[in-house]
Structure 1
């Protein structure tokens, strides 16, 4: 089949690991032709054009900045995407017959592209639902349900679900949420299509012998907890800072925070002001160095804002499981990521904001080396059984 994948992820090299690039390679291994549309944000000063990588054709479309920018440019840029993408597809791939159109949220503004190409080629459409917008923005008080913005985006969301022949959700709670809040959606087209990775052999490294830990001035003698990923409003950064502050009372646990995002500046100011001895903040690292750092850590961390009413399922969980690390989670009560971790023995959960319970979980992880190893092994097994790209591929392809 000729498969078109629409995304706002920056895909330039199909060999780079990620939940989308890994899945695209799986489609290609199974004989499908991949056509990918991805943005060139204006900050890169590059024109719209075609490139190839790993056998996939990638159409890079010049757009406004839509990530890590101010809310006004992000909003306008997101609304312009469908027209920009459709114009570029018509220019470069007018004669290509697409059998399947794949797309993920965010954004919810590909309706014009999907509708046009679906009608043109009688193509099937599959939504990989990674983000439930605009409700997540309402939860974070970016705008209200009474606003014009909410009504406009909600209308686009409903139309997106209507245009999609199938909707693949990340977890059971996601499926339940979509059906409960969208009664017009046929339950038969809603299913689980999880975040997934192409497994690679990962080995834990010796902390005591690590030159990287010495370089970063991270104490190898302490239990090392790592948070890697976006540092934005969805992560509930205030509680993460509270945890780091509380952890200063200990002498056997160390927190590494790696990433970037809209709240990175706030975190940098806090670190520069408080100068914690049991934590460090690192800007985004090169992939190889980040992977090496993760291999030296003991426990993975996931934080989500407690105000969420939608069930997020962070993809960073997968890298922790791949390195056989147990996971500590502080989230809202609506996501099922914590329940899944506890039910399957690879993590501990508490509601974001519950500092006493979270520090008890830290104590548990520091105390019991054997338990950490067992939980890490259980997490790796769960990853192998549930979150590999062949599972996502089969979820999509069982319809064809």
Structure 2
């Protein structure tokens, strides 16, 4: 099929979303499909820039800045983004292109207008990949009430949903947010698992043997450190275990809370904790080969369901997972059913400490644990499964809506 993918993150960015879309794009090409990726870019001086990315056509389109700015300017920029992308697409060599299917990735919730325009031009179906439920999670976190801003974002999200013929959600638990949407004929809601391409173990700029964590069993967190993660509890855990000279904690990445967390660890005198800036995604397997347990944290106020990308990277590398997440999250059942780690869901620090120590002990005595982790990855999270599912949903002719 001739497909177009719309997103706001892609290499050279190192976000988990960029890595996911890189792997998805490569798999589309490997399966013989013709893929074009459309991306907004605030750095372009000209209206567009066309690149080749391993057989994928990548068209960057000039659009307002939406990253690393205050919320008001970001909202305005994201609202204008799809219209700027459309305008500059029409100035590009791909202005008259027509596709057999339109795929777009949320976040952002603002791609509805450009997805709709491309669907109509190609008389084709649209597949919306949703990786978080915004603005609902922001309300759960107390970052937003249900006033005017919420109603605005909710209207934008609902319009984006209305454009889609098929919506792929992360877990079955998120289906409750689409009870109204699914009632219209011709629409399909399905679980589209996160995905991650297999990667060989290579060199890593972080050599734990040369750090203060040498010789310890290392619990690693690699990824964004922001409000949604609620990571203070992981420092509390490290503080409770600082007398265990055989256990260490490594935090790798960036985010709004990264500097605050590092400063907090220093203020507490946690010599069992090490912070490091983000590394290239290709170095992650080499990093995990030096570690023993992967850490997942989600703020306890979360009510939406989430299978974080970092969870995939852990099990792909054979690392069991210690998760501090919200009660009822679908990830809880997955970890317990597949026996790939330990979960704490209440506010008790003592329960998290017990889970951590039990999992560390299990790592030393259960030789089948890494194999179970790898097996779960291969069964559910390989990118070829995502591509087959998306293509199968789009390969059905003209949409009804």
- What is the TM-score when the length of structure 2 is the normalising length? 0.90
Quote the offset at 1:289 in angstroms: 4.2
Separation (CA, whole Å) in 2 of partners of 1:257 and 1:83: 39
Q: Deviations over 1:266-303 (max 9, x none)?
A: 11221332231111111112345443221110000100
Separation (CA, whole Å) in 2 of partners of 1:372 and 1:300: 16
Aligned partner of 1:82 in structure 2 is: 82
Quote the offset at 1:359 in angstroms: 0.6
Q: Deviations over 1:85-136 (max 9, x none)?
A: 2112222121111111111110110111011111121021001110111111
Aligned pairs for 1:230-245 (under 5 A) are 230-245=224-239
Corresponding residue pairs, total: 391
Q: Deviations over 1:202-221 (max 9, x none)?
A: 4999xxxx98113333222x
Aligned partner of 1:67 in structure 2 is: 67
Quote the offset at 1:151 in angstroms: 0.7
Q: Deviations over 1:124-168 (max 9, x none)?
A: 1001110111111111222211x2111111111112111101011
Separation (CA, whole Å) in 1 of partners of 2:260 and 2:338: 35
Aligned partner of 1:249 in structure 2 is: 243
CA distance 1:215–1:334, shift in 2 (3 Å): same
Separation (CA, whole Å) in 2 of partners of 1:296 and 1:327: 15
CA distance 1:211–1:282, shift in 2 (3 Å): closer
Task: Could you tell me which runs of 5 or more consecutive residues in structure 1 were left unpaired when the two chains were aligned.
Answer: none
CA distance 1:392–1:162, shift in 2 (3 Å): same
Quote the offset at 1:332 in angstroms: 1.1
CA distance 1:340–1:296, shift in 2 (3 Å): same
Segment drifting more, 49-58 vs 186-195: 186-195
Quote the offset at 1:251 in angstroms: 2.2
Aligned partner of 2:399 in structure 1 is: none
CA distance 1:183–1:100, shift in 2 (3 Å): closer
Aligned partner of 2:350 in structure 1 is: 356
The yes-or-no answer on 1:218 pairing with 2:217 is: no
CA-based RMSD: 2.6
Separation (CA, whole Å) in 2 of partners of 1:166 and 1:325: 33
| SS of alignment partner, residue 29 of structure 2 | helix
Separation (CA, whole Å) in 2 of partners of 1:275 and 1:65: 39
- What is the TM-score when the length of structure 1 is the normalising length? 0.90
Contact 1:12 1:53 in 2 (8 A): no
Contact 1:11 1:38 in 2 (8 A): no
Q: Deviations over 1:7-28 (max 9, x none)?
A: 11133599x9821111111111
CA distance 1:29–1:253, shift in 2 (3 Å): same
Task: Could you tell me which runs of 5 or more consecutive residues in structure 2 were left unpaired when the two chains were aligned.
Answer: 396-401
The yes-or-no answer on 1:300 pairing with 2:309 is: no
Separation (CA, whole Å) in 1 of partners of 2:268 and 2:31: 53
Separation (CA, whole Å) in 2 of partners of 1:3 and 1:108: 20
